Amino acid sequence: MTKADIVSEIAEQTGIEKVAVQTTVEAFMNSVKKSLTSGDNVYLRGFGSFIVKERAEKIGRNISAKEPIVIPAHNIPAFKPSKTFVEKVKKNVKVGKKK
């Protein structure tokens, strides 16, 4: 499902024009990005959390040069689904089912 699909589905369900829905969806995404880049997590009860995860410094390998390289510590955005969300997916999606 793409952002355009999400916008279309919300517009269909609510009767709101696609342009307004798209503006709202993009504003939501920008708010999440802004919060995460400032180091704040976003919690959506019943859905999940957008969090900033810390990755520790580690040793990697440059395969072409066959040399070890240091990958510095860094932060990455992540999504952690709520328990109810996880249970719903477990119950409704069959193992090995792909579109």
Q: Do 61 and 82 have their domain in common?
A: yes
Q: Within 10 Å of residue 34's Cβ, how many Cβ atoms?
A: 11
Statement to judge: residues 27 and 54 lie in one domain? no
| 24 found inside a domain | yes
Q: Which pTM value belongs to this model? A: 0.78
Pair (34, 58) in one structural domain:
no
- 68 located within any domain: yes
Tell me what pLDDT residue 99 has. Answer: 58
Chain segment 8-58, per-residue pLDDT in tens? 999 999 999 999 999 999 999 999 999 999 999 999 999 999 999 999 999
Residue 99 inside a domain? The answer is: no
> Alpha-carbon distance 52 to 47, whole Å?
17
Based on the fold, state whether residues 1 and 27 are members of the same structural domain. yes
**Domain around 17:** 1-40
Q: Tokens 């959506």 belong to which residue?
A: 44
Number of domains in the chain: 2
Residue 30 and residue 7 share a domain: yes
Would you state the structure tokens that stand for residue 62, as one six-digit string?
Answer: 């440059």
Does residue 97 surpass a pLDDT of 80? no
